[in-house]
Amino acid sequence: MVQGVMRAFLLLAMTSVVLAGCAAARDFGAGVGAAATAPLEDLNLRREYIPTVLLQAEAAPYDLRNMNRCSTIGAEIARLNEALGPDLDEPPAPDGSTLGERAGDAASKAALDAIRDTTTDFIPGRSWIRRLSGAEQHSRHVQAAIQAGRMRRAFLKGVGMHRNCAPPAAPAWFRPRGGSRR
């Protein structure tokens, strides 16, 4: 019964993705592989990559070495944005997507979540396996690195504001007084 429902849901999601467009279909296809191999993360056979900039932020979130110019602060914030995605002060990028494309994206995300849940639910004692394999510890390390990166980005934007730097070395809404320093 559950398998039949899953198949019907998956068929509906794939149909929505195909109707929404080829780009969404490629994203869905790539996501299926990641969702299907999710148990490898639980067994600690595959690990999520932590970008170097986040590891550096985790080691020294308030380090100001070489951060003496607005351009170097902006470059470091750009590296953090690349790893973390846009900051909360950044306006969302207008993607120009149609309602059908957004519906297809939502359907493909729901289908991928269902596939991921199905592939991980068959592991008995999953939480214990994650603890024993080290996967849970790595997952906590990933989250700590992300948090440190966010904290460093906020700190650097505050430093940039204090030094009268223009964005991206300061929050997007900040306007330097009398021209920015370099």
For residue 34, the model assigns a pLDDT of 56
- Residue owning tokens 């869905």: 28
CA 6 to centroid of chain Cα atoms: 27
Residue 132's pLDDT band, with cuts at 50, 70 and 90, is low
Instruction: List, for residues 8-52, the tens digit of each pLDDT value.
Output: 444 444 554 444 444 445 555 555 555 555 555 555 555 678 899
Estimate the share of the chain in helix, then strand, then coil, as percent rounded to the nearest 5.
65, 0, 35
Structure tokens at 62: 């308030």
Could you tell me if 132 and 30 are in contact, meaning their C-beta atoms sit under 8 angstroms apart?
Answer: no
pLDDT value of residue 2: 45
Q: Residue 178 CB: number of other CB atoms within 10 A?
A: 6
Q: Which of 50-54, 87-91, 164-168 has the lowest mean pLDDT?
A: 87-91
Burial (CB count <10 Å: 0-12, 13-18, 19+), residue 107: buried
